[in-house]
């Protein structure tokens, strides 16, 4: 992708599958659209052999950029996403998993 930001250039949006993934499809972020204004990010997966390379963060960044660009709010059902973006300006909507994670000691 010419001109793409380095952090999202290796992420493919698969609208038909409801996911963002690496070109080989092995690492992915699965989402649902409960409404036209919300993206429920339900699962992030990176195979053990590819962990530690920042792939989950790139998938998350691409999904957030996608949602933000379409004026959507994010429901952080996935535990990785619920703890990753805790900034005051983040477009997160509350989810049960988010609250249960934040209550852990």
Which of 41, 62, 63, 78 is catalytic? The answer is: 78
Residue 78 bears catalytic tag:
yes
Produce one character per residue of 23-56: b if its CB has 16 or more CB atoms within 10 Å, e if not.
eeeebbbbbeeeeeebbbbbebbbeeeeeeeebb
Catalytically active residues, by annotation: 78
């Amino acid at each position: 992708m010419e001109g793409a930001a380095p952090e999202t250039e290796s992420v493919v949006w698969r609208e038909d599958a409801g996911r963002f993934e690496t070109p080989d499809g092995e690492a992915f972020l699965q989402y649902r659209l409960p409404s036209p204004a919300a993206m429920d990010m339900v699962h992030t997966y990176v195979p053990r052999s590819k962990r530690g390379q920042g792939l989950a963060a790139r998938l998350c960044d691409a999904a957030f950029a996608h949602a933000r660009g379409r004026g959507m709010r994010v429901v952080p059902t996935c535990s990785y996403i619920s703890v990753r973006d805790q900034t005051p300006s983040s477009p997160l909507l509350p989810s049960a998993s988010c609250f249960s994670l934040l209550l852990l000691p």
